Each structure stands twice: as C-alpha cells, then as structure tokens.
Amino acid sequence: MSLRTPYARIAITLPEADLAAADRLAKQQDRSRSWIVAEAVRRYAAEVEHGEPADALGSSRRAQLLRDVAMTAEERVHEAEETSRVSEQVTAPRTFASFDEFLAWQRAGGGSA
C-alpha cells in the first residue's frame, strides 16, 4: 500500500503578477510552484470551512467597519476627531543605538512611571 498522496494534474490560468509572486515564494521557500499554489488553496479552504472571512479582513476589523457604517456622518467626524486627539497624546517608543545606551538610560531612571 502506497503512503503517497494521490495527485491530479491540472492546467490553470493566472495573471502574470500572481504567477510571478508564486515563483518568488517558491524560490524563497525552496518549494515547487505547485506546492505554493496547493498551500494557498489549503489555507483558503480552511478559512472558508471555519467560517472565517475569505477576504483580507479579520472579524474584528469587519465588525468595526459595520459599526462605522451604521454611524451618521456627524458621528463619524466626531469619532475621527477623538481618535486624532488621542493619537496626539501617544508618544513614539524610545529607540536606542546600542544596548549600552539602553542600560545608561535605564540606570538614569528611564522608563519609570
């Protein structure tokens, strides 16, 4: 009894950009073009079978978009202004050129609230 998975040969037509992307992935991952296409089908099928959106939106992003669409234009403007106000209060994370620089900053009390 053979342990090999049965294969079927098919012919498909892809846009050139998609084929080029599949070839790039195949080369990067040291896989065949067929493996890349089969893996894409497996992942897409798994998403659909588990009720997950097949498009690029996750469930939380989709829910947020639905809430946004339900708002009036005035409510959306208010929410955008609030988001802008809050984002202005957030500071960019501190970066360090070296671990020694980080240690000096930490010893000087950096990062303590």
Q: What is the DSSP letter of 57?
A: -
Q: Are residues 42 and 66 in the same domain?
A: no
How many folded domains does the chain comprise?
2
- At 2-50, the pLDDT tens digits run 577 788 899 999 889 999 999 999 999 999 999 999 999 998 888 878 7
CA distance 100 to 19: 47
- Confidence (pTM): 0.44
* Structure confidence by residue, pLDDT tens digits, 90-102: 766 778 888 888 8
Which residues span the domain enclosing 73? Answer: 58-89
Whether residue 5 is contained in a domain is answered as no
* 41 occurs within a structural domain: yes
Instruction: Tell me, yes or no, whether 62 and 40 share the same domain.
Output: no
**Cβ-based neighbour number of residue 105 at 10 Å:** 13
What is the model's pLDDT at position 91?
67
For 70, which DSSP code?
H
- For residue 11, being part of any structural domain is answered with no
Question: Are 65 and 82 found together in one domain?
Answer: yes
Give the span between the Cα atoms of 22 and 12, in whole angstroms.
13
